[in-house]
Structure 1
Amino acid sequence: MHDTLMLLLQVLGALGIFIFGMKLMSESILKFAGERLRAIMSSMTTNRFAGILTGLFITSLVQSSSATTVMVVSFVHAQLLTLTQSIGVIMGANLGTTITAWIVSAGFKFSLASVAIPIIGIGVVLSFLKGNKLRHFGNFLTGFGLLFLGLGELKASVPDVKNNVEMLEWVTQLSSYGFFSLIIFILMGTALTVIVQSSSAAMAITLTMASLGWLNFEQSAAIILGENIGTTITAFLASLPANVAAKRAARAHFMFNIIGVTWMLFLIVPFSKLVLWVYDIVSSAAPGFILKDNALTTQLALFHTMFNLFNIALLVAFIPHIAKLVTRMVADKEGDSQSATFRYLRSFSVGTGELNFKEATQALQQLGNLTGKMFKSFIEIYDHPEKDMSPQVKEIDSLEKKANALTDELTEYLIRCTSDEVSEDTRKRAYSYLRVASELEEIGDCCHRMTNRAVRRYKKGRLVTQTAEREVVQFGNLVARFIDLYSSKLSTDVSASDMELTIDFEKAINEKRKELRKRSVNRMIESPENVKPELLYVDIVNTFERIANHARNVMQGLPKQLD
């Protein structure tokens, strides 16, 4: 019992080193090139083939199909990708994740575990040097070394079947049910991936057991097929709090993998022969490329790659049909086609902050647009005291609630982002966005308070002179131009000329406020009976100036362009 427990702990420890190394590699790449990867994702998906190449490229770099599919779900939710584009990216991600099998196989063939410690040593030294790029590269090397160190420990921890024949009996029994044995091993692969929450770790376990004689080719291939199904659980979990479009993207990921596993179930024997035939050709043509003493792991890596290639070739023409199928499976819900808030922000999971930060920018832009719409609606209400503007008042109430909800979600996401494993640039941008979101919420609150005062003014007939009323509307149009300025900069960096324009706006608005207040005081002296309307007038003029101050803070808080 004690020996079994120690064996289990050794396997878990080795697996933990492997997973941590893979995670560190992935995070280092995201910190180094996260912005570029997000740009690639949003721009290189013009058609299904470009989407496949994009998914392949990003997953090969990040070494995590889960990270890529979570990013896809996020982008679909934020309407940066269509459902059809997302399916192409997911197909490419499935092919990109096969690189992991080749890395693991190479670790067995070339004994990279023997050089893992020196690699880790170099990586740790680089991670302490100045300069973000050097630190990220050092962390990447450290993760790379830990990955192979964990792989070597995993192989050493799992007992060799040659010396423990009795431990293979349960595997032999599972293989005695014919076609149903394949289904059993597929379910094992699915369960293994769901439990460890990493198809890469599940693949490492499978290839380790195969290399030590626990599993033969057919059994290992069936487990690998199950891992293809199990890896879809990550995208499914990420889509739970998201909108209908994101749920469809996650469902498409599942459908693509389940269709591939289904046809492979019936063709696994001839397909396995094809894989072994290709292996023999490659090993004969390039004997130095493949080492015979560990052929099984290479054959399984080849099986994984060829399966995904064939599955993509088979289904790429049916991407629109898959999109239609998942659209029927996940029906539209009333009010969910255009979500007012970014509910996906709340589904934040550690390690995805860098990939999903684009949605925070989208949310900030939407928040800015809401404040602009609220202010212009207020000006319309104020300019028509003789009309019943109840629909516009209700709209501003609704917009204020949406702005508050969006601010709460965005703030929560940004706070988590600052503590997540993101690049220094992204962390600084998150802090900037926190300040900007707070200022935008204040502007929305000012608009809501002014609307309530305008309603009171309308009901009690507290109007000043027509000339003064027109001056307020003109003043409001000046403030609206300032709001348009910051709204246009929420998705980009602010330049020096933008800040000069900001100073000009604030100065002009401040001078206008002083001018209108002075005129109001003179009117109150001349007509004391109009004090209440004038006080309401002055309060709105002062609020315009407060909005301008918040707008200035927004421009100051946004990231600046480098000279």
Structure 2
Amino acid sequence: ASMGYLSVLIFLAVGIVLTMVIQSSAATFAITLIMCSKGWIDFNLSCALVLGSNIGTTITPILASMSGNVAAKRTAMGHLLFNLLGTVWVLALYFPFVHFNAWLTETLGQGDPTALHGFVNHIEATDPEVYNHLFDGSLPDSHPVVAQVGKMQMSVSIGLSIFHTVFNLINLSVMIWMTNLYVKIVMRLVPTKHKEDEEFQLKFISGGLLNAAELNIAQAEKEIAVFAERVQRMIGMAQTLVHTKEGTEEFNNSFSRLEKYEDISDRMEIEIAHYLNRCSEGRLSNEGKLKIAAMLRIVSEIESIADCCLGAGKILIRKHQSHINFNGEIYSNLDTMFSYVESAMGNMVSLLSDMDNAREQEIITGYNREREINNFRNQLRTSNIENINERHYEYQAGIYYMDLVANLEKTGDYIINVVDAVREQMRSKAV
């Protein structure tokens, strides 16, 4: 403790290691407070321990992010970087900064936090007997030394608190202007292993399970709503692909994007299902177990919708390989079919956004949309035979046309299966 600036660095390192081991900066602060209030270390070294605890406490989010996605790891790295850079500028101005906090404490009427260490050392040198009984409670409260030390201890505790607070406030005030730089540095330090990792980010269940089982289910419900919204975009992508000339670079890029979204949907299904299975292992009510069963079914049906969207792209590729062209009538009918499916999907997403309070009207709307899809499919099947006979288009064009129509109708079936699952959940709740 008597090596000048080197002692500051040593106590900084001790603060880092101690906090990393016990994973609590508050506990480190308490230990520091005890050591300083007994006069074992002076205010300068106490501040170094507190400074080290700010870096050591970053181990908790780092450990938590190890099982998370790229965004979680970057957040933990950002936390570490914030505290590291803040410590660097404080170390460069260490003694003036500590003196500033001591002055601030004194200005606020709380006394000089640096005085205790010298006073205790003076007592030890001049009156060893009083020193030996100073901190064991054997001296009477009326003893003048006890009262004086008590005031100084209060000053030390407030001074350390002010140091910790002022450090973080100034650090935030300085670093907030460098947010974009932080983002660039963190993205460089934690790059994505795969390009699609940027898009595959679970928003609500990327961490561990919460202590409350019902909260785990609520998190999964939010993630399923996000999953449904992502898959909904694929319907629009498939429709765009229908109107894109096959064999072109634009078509290939659009199909690759659709393929990537389908791959992401597979991974999301697995992640959400895995999370729900872990939830089911906890202590749940019968209602909670039924809800998880319904959610597992919903997740599977949503992934099937994604498969159908990719399936539409594969039909178009086969059509191109057979050198078949569609006419305006086919494109118009397909657009109408897509609009029905998109409407049904939008209603389904709305239902999933608040499953616990699903409205009966939205359930009814879901069934109406399904009937519209089925009726239009039947109408197109009947007219297809007539159109081929009247040579509106080739027989093979009619085959691929009907394949797309059947694919879209199947998409509607998966959508109504989700609506059924939500409705069954409503019924079980009512019972």
Instruction: Specify if TM > 0.5.
Output: yes
What is the aligned counterpart of 1:348 among 193, 197, 207?
A: 207
How far does residue 320 in structure 1 lie from its aligned partner after superposition?
3.8
Is residue 246 of structure 2 the alignment partner of residue 390 of structure 1? no
Task: Name the amino acid aligned to 2:201.
Answer: F
**Post-superposition CA distance 1:316-343 (Å, at most 9, x none):** 5424434255346445569979921117
Instruction: After superposition, give the CA deviation of every residue in 1:283-326 in whole Å (9 maximum; x if it has no partner).
Output: xxxxxxxx969778755542343123322453454244342553
Report 1:71-470 matches (<5 A): 175-207=1-33, 213=38, 215-216=40-41, 218=43, 219-237=45-63, 241-243=69-71, 246=75, 247-248=77-78, 250-256=80-86, 258-260=88-90, 263-268=93-98, 271-272=101-102, 275=105, 278-280=109-111, 298-299=154-155, 301-327=157-183, 329-330=185-186, 339-342=198-201, 348-349=207-208, 351=210, 364=224, 367-383=227-243, 388=248, 389-413=251-275, 415=277, 434-461=296-323, 467=329, 470=332
Alpha-carbon distance, 1:242 to partner: 2.4
The offset of 1:443, in angstroms, is 0.7
Tell me the number of residue pairs that the alignment of Structure 1 and Structure 2 aligns: 377
Q: Equivalents in 1 of 2:289, 2:86: separation in Å? A: 35
Q: Secondary structure at the match of 1:176?
A: coil
Counterpart CA distance in 2 for 1:492 and 1:419 is 24
Q: Does 2:374 align with 1:501?
A: no
Contact 2:55 2:83 (8 Å CA) reproduced: no
Q: What SS is found at the alignment partner of 1:348?
A: coil
Pairwise CA distance, 1:479: 0.7
**What is the CA-CA distance between 1:191 and the residue it aligns to?**
0.3
Preserved contact between residue 348 and residue 413 of structure 1 (Cα < 8 Å): no
Distance of 1:452 and 1:401 partners within structure 2? 15
Is the Cα–Cα contact under 8 Å of residues 50 and 164 in structure 2 kept in the other structure?
Answer: no
C-alpha distance 531-399 of structure 1, shift in aligned 2 (>3 A) = same
Contact map agreement 2:204 2:222 (CA 8 A) in 1: no
CA positional deviation for 1:397: 2.0
Alignment check: 8 A CA contact 1:506 1:549 kept: yes
Deviation of the 1:478 alpha carbon: 0.9
Gaps of 5+ in 1: 1-174, 282-290
Deviation at 1:230, TM superposition (A): 0.8
By how many angstroms is 1:199 displaced?
2.0
| Alpha-carbon distance in 1 for matches of 2:83, 2:218 | 22
1:478 to 340, 346, 364: 340
Change in 2 beyond 3 A, CA 1:328/1:443: closer
Is the contact made by 2:13 and 2:52 (CA closer than 8 Å) also made in structure 1? yes
Which residue of the partner structure matches residue 131 of structure 2? none
Is the CA contact (8 Å cut-off) linking 2:70 and 2:197 kept in structure 1?
no
Matching residue's letter, 1:340: E
- TM-score calculated relative to the size of structure 1: 0.53
Q: Letter of the aligned partner of 1:374 in structure 2?
A: M
How much does 1:208 deviate? 5.8
Equivalent-residue separation in structure 2 for 1:185 and 1:427 (angstroms): 52
* Amino acid paired to 1:303: G
What does 1:13-24 correspond to in 2, within 5 Å? none
TM-score relative to the length of structure 2: 0.66
For 2:140, the equivalent position in structure 1 comes to none
Change (3 A) 1:253 1:184: closer
CA contact (8 A) 2:235 2:342 kept: yes
User: Closer, same or farther in 2 for the Cα pair 1:319/1:434, shift >3 Å?
Assistant: farther
State the Cα distance separating 1:531 from its structure 2 match: 6.9
Q: Secondary structure at the match of 1:446?
A: helix
1:482–1:294: structure 2 CA closer, same or farther, 3 Å change rule? farther
Q: Retained in 2: the 8 A contact 1:363–1:406?
A: no
Post-superposition offset of 1:542: 2.9
Structure 2 unaligned blocks of 5 or more: 113-145
1:279 match: secondary structure: coil
**Higher alpha-carbon deviation: 534-543 or 504-513:** 534-543
Distance 2:287 2:96 in 1: 50
1:512 to 342, 357, 376: 376
Query: 2:364 and 2:156 mapped to 1: Cα distance?
Result: 62
1:383/1:329 CA distance change after superposition, 3 Å: closer
For 1:438, give the aligned amino acid. Answer: S
Does the 8 Å contact 2:229/2:349 carry over to 1? yes
Aligned in 2, Cα 1:465/1:367: closer, same or farther, shift over 3 Å? same
Matching residue of 1:52 = none
For residues 180 and 89 of structure 2, the distance between their equivalents in structure 1, rounded to whole angstroms, comes to 15
Aligned-residue CA RMSD (Å)? 4.9
2:234 touches 2:258 (CA, 8 Å); kept in 1?
A: yes
Change in 2 beyond 3 A, CA 1:357/1:454: same
CA distance in 2, matches of 1:329, 1:296: 44
Larger Rg computed on CA atoms: 2
C-alpha displacement of 1:190: 0.9
Deviation at 1:391, TM superposition (A): 3.5
